[in-house]
Amino acid sequence: MKTKALLLFLSIIILSCSKTKKESSTLEIITLKEGWKFQKGSFPDAVSVDFDDANWETITVPHDWAIYGPFDKEIDKQVVAITQNGEEVATEKTGRTGALPYIGEAWYRNTFDVPNYDKSKKVLILFEGAMSEPEVFVNGKKVGEWKYGYAYFYFDISEHVQSTNNSLSVKLNNKGKSSRWYPGAGLYRNVRVILKNQESIDQWGTFITTPNINEEVAQVNVKTNVTGDNLKLVTTIFDAEGNEVVSNETTTRFGNQFEQNIAVKNPKLWDTENPYLYKAISKLYVGNTLKDEVTTKFGIRDINYDRNTGFSLNGKPTKFKGVCLHHDLGPLGTAVNTSALRRQLEILKDMGANAIRSSHNMPSFEQLELCDEMGFLFLAESFDEWKKPKVENGYNLYFDDYAEKDVVNLVRATRNHPSIVMWSSGNEVPDQWGSEGVKRAKWLQDIFHREDPTRPVTVGMDQVKAVMESGFGAIMDIPGLNYRVHLYEEAYERFPQGFILGSETASTVSSRGIYHFPVEKGSMVQHDDYQSSSYDLEYCSWSNLPEDDFILQDDKPWVLGEFVWTGFDYLGEPTPYDEVWPSRSSYFGINDLAGLPKDRYYLYRSRWNTKDETLHILPHWNWEGREGVTTPVFVYTNYNSAELFLNGKSLGIQTKNNSSPQHRYRLMWMDVKYEPGTLKVVALDDNGNPTAEKEIKTSGKPHQLILEPNTTPIKANGEDLAFVTVSVVDENGIPCPTATNQLKFEVTGNGRYRAACNGNATSLEQFHLPTMKLFSGKLVVLVQSTKEAGDITLTVSGEGLESSSVQLKSIL
**Model confidence over 101-117: pLDDT tens digits?**
999 999 999 999 998 88
Contact 743, 772 (CB under 8 A): yes
- 649-655 sheet: strands from edge to edge: 649-655, 641-646, 678-684, 690-697
pLDDT band at residue 24 using 50, 70 and 90 as cut-offs: very low
CA-derived radius of gyration, the chain? 27
Ordered alpha helix ranges (H), 520-647: 546-555, 599-608
**Res. 5: pLDDT tops 50:** no
| Sign of the C-alpha dihedral computed for residues 282, 283, 287 and 291 taken in this order | positive
**Res. 86: pLDDT tops 80:** no
Contact 177, 392 (CB under 8 A): yes
pLDDT at 83: 78
For residue 138, list its beta bridge partners. 141, 168
Q: 216 an active-site residue?
A: no
Look up residue 622 and give its amino acid: N
The distance from CA 342 to its chain's CA centroid, rounded to whole angstroms, is: 10
Greatest distance between any 2 Cα atoms in the chain = 88
Cis, bond preceding 389 (omega within 30 deg of 0): no
pLDDT at 26: 84
- Alpha-carbon gap, residue 345 to 353, rounded angstroms: 9
- DSSP class of residue 407? H
Phi-psi region of 731 (alpha: psi -120 to 50; beta: other; left: phi over 0): alpha
pLDDT at 797: 98
**Res. 6: pLDDT tops 90:** no
- Alpha-carbon gap, residue 604 to 592, rounded angstroms: 15
Q: Which value, to the nearest 10 degrees, does the dihedral of the CA atoms of residues 316, 321, 326, 328 take?
A: -90
141 Cβ neighbours under 8 A, 6+ residues apart:
160
Instruction: Output phi, psi for 700, to 5 deg.
Output: -90, -155
**Res. 432: pLDDT tops 50:** yes
- Alpha-carbon gap, residue 188 to 192, rounded angstroms: 13
Contact 234, 281 (CB under 8 A): no
**Average model confidence (pLDDT) across the chain:** 95
pLDDT band at residue 89 using 50, 70 and 90 as cut-offs: confident
Query: Which of 12-21, 204-213, 675-684 shows the lowest mean pLDDT across its residues?
Result: 12-21
Cis, bond preceding 737 (omega within 30 deg of 0): no
pLDDT at 25: 59
Contact 259, 223 (CB under 8 A): yes
Domains of the chain (ranges, CATH numbers)? 2-11+203-301 (2.60.40.10), 20-197 (2.60.120.260), 319-362+377-398+418-587 (3.20.20.80), 623-697 (2.60.40.10), 704-811 (2.60.40.10)
- Alpha-carbon gap, residue 140 to 51, rounded angstroms: 10
266 Cβ neighbours under 8 A, 6+ residues apart:
215, 216, 217
Candidates 133, 504, 562, 573; catalytic one: 504
- DSSP class of residue 266? S
- Alpha-carbon gap, residue 162 to 782, rounded angstroms: 40
Average pLDDT on 285-291 reads: 96
Average pLDDT on 696-713 reads: 97
- 135-138 sheet: strands from edge to edge: 57-59, 36-40, 104-112, 166-174, 135-138, 141-145
Question: Helices (H) and strands (E) in the chain — how many of each?
Answer: 10, 51
Instruction: Give the SS3 label for residue 311.
Output: strand
Tens of pLDDT along 112-147? Answer: 999 888 888 999 999 999 999 999 999 999 999 999
Tens of pLDDT along 145-194? Answer: 999 999 999 999 999 999 999 999 999 999 999 999 999 999 999 999 99
Question: Percent of the chain at pLDDT above 70?
Answer: 97
- Alpha-carbon gap, residue 203 to 194, rounded angstroms: 10
Q: 504 an active-site residue?
A: yes
Tens of pLDDT along 580-630? Answer: 999 999 999 999 999 999 999 999 999 999 999 999 999 999 999 999 999
What is the bridge-based pairing of β-strands 633-637 and 615-618?
A: antiparallel
**Res. 8: pLDDT tops 50:** no
pTM of the predicted structure, to 2 decimals: 0.96
**Res. 370: pLDDT tops 60:** yes
Tens of pLDDT along 724-735? Answer: 999 999 999 999
Tens of pLDDT along 25-49? Answer: 588 999 999 999 999 999 999 999 9
For residue 500, list its beta bridge partners. 559
**Which of 451, 450, 433 is closest to 387 using CA atoms?**
433
Instruction: Output phi, psi for 449, to 5 deg.
Output: -65, -40
Tens of pLDDT along 485-504? Answer: 999 999 999 999 999 999 99
Question: HSE of 618 in the Cβ direction (CA atoms, 13 Å)?
Answer: 25
Contact 208, 277 (CB under 8 A): no
pLDDT at 2: 43
pLDDT at 715: 97
| Sign of the C-alpha dihedral computed for residues 642, 644, 645 and 649 taken in this order | negative
pLDDT at 116: 82
pLDDT band at residue 14 using 50, 70 and 90 as cut-offs: very low
Cis, bond preceding 527 (omega within 30 deg of 0): no
Contact 107, 172 (CB under 8 A): yes
Contact 789, 812 (CB under 8 A): yes
Cβ–Cβ contacts within 10 Å for residue 788, how many? 12
Candidates 133, 199, 369, 428; catalytic one: 428
Ordered alpha helix ranges (H), 471-622: 472-475, 488-494, 546-555, 599-608
- Alpha-carbon gap, residue 295 to 207, rounded angstroms: 12
613 Cβ neighbours under 8 A, 6+ residues apart:
638, 692
Measured in Å, how far apart are the chain's first and last C-alpha atoms?
A: 48
**Res. 7: pLDDT tops 60:** no
For residue 754, list its beta bridge partners. none
- Alpha-carbon gap, residue 331 to 781, rounded angstroms: 10
**Which of 154, 208, 261, 272 is closest to 415 using CA atoms?**
208
